[in-house]
Amino acid sequence: MTTTSYHHIELDSSGVPWISGANTKVVEIVAERLAYDWDADQIHSQHPNLSLAQIHSALAYYYDHQQELDRDIERRLERADKILSAPGASTIRQKLRASRQRP
């Protein structure tokens, strides 16, 4: 991990920003902010393991790198759409359906 000028944000070897001391990517916090229009307090209620300082730092990082992170979010949404629209059932779904049909 590489430190940044954002007190609670580190970059991994691929340049992905993470919240220091947590197993949470900045983009995950931002996605919740955008999807649910949550403020920092609401995000904190969903992630009590993160401090408000960590959340605010993640949001500050986002607003300073908005185009880059918005592209990342768009790629993630496109990948999810592709997976959901793929023909056939996934192996996990098949196993779940099979387990529900057992007597």
Instruction: Specify the higher pLDDT residue, 102 or 54.
Output: 54
How much is the pLDDT for 5? 85
Per-residue model confidence as pLDDT tens digits over 41-55: 999 999 999 999 999
Mean pLDDT score, 81-91: 70
Distance CA 66, CA 36 (A): 17
Q: Quickly tell me which residue has 């992630």 as its tokens.
A: 47
The vertex-38 CA angle with 22 and 7, nearest 5°, equals 35
Q: Is the pLDDT of residue 10 over 90?
A: yes
Q: Is the pLDDT of residue 13 over 80?
A: yes
Range of the domain at 7: 2-101
> Encoding tokens for residue 35?
């999807």
What percentage of residues in the chain have a pLDDT greater than 90? 62
**Count of domains in the chain?**
1
